[in-house]
Amino acid sequence: MIKFTGKFLLFFATIFLLFTMYNFVILWKNSTSNILINFVPNEEYSPEIAKISSMKEFKNLIRTEVEKRNLSGIEIPILVDNYVRKKFYNQASYLEWYKNWFLSFLNFLLPQYFFNSLMQPRDIIQKDYGMCSQQSIVFQNVIKDYGFDYGSLRFNIPQLNHFANAVKVDEQWYFFDTHISILKKIYGSTEFKEVVNNLETDEIKVGMIELSDVNKFPAPKGVLVQHISFMISWYGWIILFFTGYLCIRSK
C-alpha cells in the first residue's frame, strides 16, 4: 500500500513538474513590460509617469521634486497623492495565473478574498492601473519614507466599498484619495448624496468609515497567502517527488 502511494505521488509529481515547466515557458514569453494606454477619460493618468515600473525609481522621482521645490509638511503628501494619480488609472490589477497557478486556484474557490489581486508595492508599481486599495498601498509605501504617521481609511457604506488614506501632519489627520473618480462621485455630483439621503438612519452605523492599520502594511495576511502559494506553485513538485521516493523506499 505504501509503495502504491509512493508511485502515485511520483506520477502526480511528474504531472506537477510538467505543468510548472509549461508555466515557465508562458512566463518567459510574456516577460515584456506592461502595455501603456495613451488616454484615460476622467483620470489624471500620465503615460510618462505610468511607464515607471519600480518603486525605487518612482520614489526617486518624487524625492527629487520635493528637494527641488523645498517642500515640507502637508505639501509632501499632496505631491505624493498627485504622482500616484498620474501613475495609475482606476482598474484592479491581478497576478497572472501562470506566475502563481495555485493562488489562482485558491481565488477560484474563494473569490471573495481576492487572493490574486496585486498586494505588494513592487508588484503593483509594474502596472499602470490599480484599484483603490492598490493605489493606496503605493501611496503609503512612499509616504512612510518621510516620517509621517499614516493609516488606511476603509469605507463600508452601502453602495460604496472604498479604500483611501489618512496622513497625520502637525497633529492633524488629513484625508487623501488617489481616485479622482471617487472624489467626484462623493463631492462633485448628487448621485452619492442621494444614496446617503435615501438611507435609513440605522443603516449608517459606527465603523462604516474606519481608520485602521496606522503605520502598518494593510494586507499582511494576503501577502502571506501569496508567498505560500508561490512556493507550492513552483516547488511543490519537489516535495511530492521526495515524499513519493521515501514511500517506495520504506519497508
Q: pLDDT averaged over the chain?
A: 82
pLDDT of residue 2: 54
Q: Which fold has domain 37-91+131-218?
A: C8orf32 fold (3.10.620)
| Residues 53-79 pLDDT 10s | 999 999 999 999 999 999 999 999 999
| Residues 102-151 pLDDT 10s | 898 899 999 988 999 999 999 999 999 999 999 999 999 999 999 999 99
Picking from 38-47, 171-180, 201-210, 212-221, which range would have the lowest pLDDT averaged per residue?
Answer: 201-210
Q: For residue 8, is pLDDT > 80?
A: no
Rounded CA separation 53/11 (Å): 40
The domain ranges of the chain are 37-91+131-218
Please say whether the beta carbons of 125 and 137 come within 8 A: no
Mean pLDDT of 162-178: 91
